[in-house]
Amino acid sequence: MTTLAILPAVLLLAVEPQATPAVPTAPVNAAKAAPPTADALSQRVAKFYADMQKRFEGVTEPSDEEMERMQAEVAAAADEAIADLDLRALDAGQLEAIEPIVGMSKKGRETMVEILRDKAKDPSIEGFRAAVRASMFAMRGSGDGDPSSAFVAILDHPAIVEGLASEDGAMALSVLADAPAAELEKRAAVIEKVAAAFNPDASTSLLAAGESFCRIASKALPPEKAKMVRAVVAGSIDAKLAKAEGREKATLERTRKYMNGAAARGELEGFPCPTLTWDWVARADGSTPWKSLAELKGKVVVLDFWATWCGPCVGSFPKVAAMRAKYPADKLEIVGVTSIQGMVAHQKRGQVDCKGDPAKEKAELVEFMKDMGVTWTVAITAEDVFNPDFGIRGIPFVAVLDKDGKVHKVGLHPSDEDAIAKIVDELLAK
């Protein structure tokens, strides 16, 4: 794994250092100095990324401990990079320019949440936009803020119906798709009103968030009403598709596929596992341990959707290996689920082009497994690794099946070993 591949993960997962500086405020001797311009702040962000790239140059395969250290260094560097700024004194353009660094600083995020929540008191669309951004900052990073309060801030905003129909609606729906059903059910009437925003004249960005809205509706509304909402959204997308071209058409077609998925229908968790067409199932020794999920009945199954080119996926391998070692093979099956990618991004040798040659890709994948010490089963499905039925928009993505083959939990990260272990232990105890 190259440094370029590692750096984004390090920056996105930066953690709070042991010693946390005070909330960034302007130094007393610079109180009268004008804050940097938006252009100057953008240049500061560019320099920050360049500095971090240089600092970690040569790091290719960090251990978990090294990754945590790197993340802590990034967080500390972010604190230092904004220490001279009074975030409350910056205008919207300046805040947007410096936001990438602020997002890596825990104290910076806390300050930004305070600023945005204050702006969210405005009952207008601008206030709604601030509520959405405040929620995203509150949920960013480890242990920042209370996710439930972040969801509520959006759901209870006076401009929610108008706001969800605006250019910020897609972002808000993406956030709310993960809101607890209990909070959404309390606001069922609002969710029903939002459905009116979906029509053939709606923006492509809003219609592209239709799958997220259907997931929200499936939590908030009775099954029949949720089904009606899904029909309205699907009809709006189809009408827009009839006249769409190019990138817009591709976006809407992709959304339509997700709309037909089990996740969007509210038929994923608690339901039998969606169909997975196993094209190839293997272990590092080349053996085929099973050919269908039906053979795994009686076991808890962890499905880890991944790809060789995905840095965070490969970075989580030590956690997956530890989980494999912890549980007996007759109690737990771990399956690394991927799809034909046209290449194999070897970590210990060069990338191999396999476009148009699935047999070659499968052979290379076995070598990849051997090189990386993969002790669990890896499988290729005919369905894309970004599986619409599971609502997968990004990988790695973990789903846990119970002993009967029903989906118990989705959307976990393979590095979150404690959360996965808790679920596995509960299912094994039944």
Contact in structure between 373 and 321 (CB atoms under 8 Å) = yes
Could you tell me the residue ranges of all domains in the chain?
A: 3-265, 278-429
Dihedral angle computed from the Cα positions of residues 304, 310, 315 and 320, in that order, rounded to the nearest 10 degrees:
10
Q: What share of the chain is helix, strand, coil (3-state, %, to 5)?
A: 55, 10, 35
Which helix (DSSP H) or strand (DSSP E) does residue 378 occupy?
strand 377-381
How many CB atoms within 10 Å of residue 158? 14
Contact in structure between 88 and 126 (CB atoms under 8 Å) = no
Dihedral angle computed from the Cα positions of residues 106, 109, 113 and 114, in that order, rounded to the nearest 10 degrees:
70
DSSP for 69-115, written as a single string? HHHHHHHHHHHHHTTT--GGG--HHHHHHHHHHHTT-HHHHHHHHHH
- Three-class SS of residue 235? helix
Contact in structure between 192 and 204 (CB atoms under 8 Å) = no
The span from the CA of 16 to the CA of 104, in Å, is: 9
Predicted confidence (pLDDT) per residue in 137-159, tens digit: 877 654 444 556 778 889 899 99
Block residue for tokens 């058409």: 249
CATH architecture of 3-265: Alpha Horseshoe (1.25)
Give, for all 430 residues of the chain, the pLDDT tens digit.
Answer: 444 444 545 554 443 333 333 334 444 444 456 889 999 999 999 999 999 888 888 776 666 678 788 888 999 999 999 999 999 999 989 988 999 999 889 889 889 989 999 999 999 999 999 999 888 887 765 444 455 677 888 989 999 988 988 878 888 998 888 888 899 999 999 999 888 889 999 889 999 999 889 989 999 999 999 999 999 999 999 999 999 999 999 999 989 988 889 988 889 999 999 999 999 999 999 899 999 999 999 999 999 999 999 988 998 999 999 999 999 999 999 999 999 999 999 988 889 999 999 999 999 999 999 999 999 999 999 999 999 999 998 899 999 999 999 999 999 999 888 999 999 999 999 8
pTM: 0.69
The span from the CA of 96 to the CA of 52, in Å, is: 20
Predicted confidence (pLDDT) per residue in 11-45, tens digit: 544 433 333 333 344 444 444 568 899 999 999 99
The burial class, CB within 10 Å (0-12 / 13-18 / 19+), for 91 is exposed
Strand segments (E) across 182-340: 278-282, 300-305, 332-338
CATH architecture of 278-429: 3-Layer(aba) Sandwich (3.40)
Beta-bridge mates of residue 412: 398
DSSP letter for 24, please: P
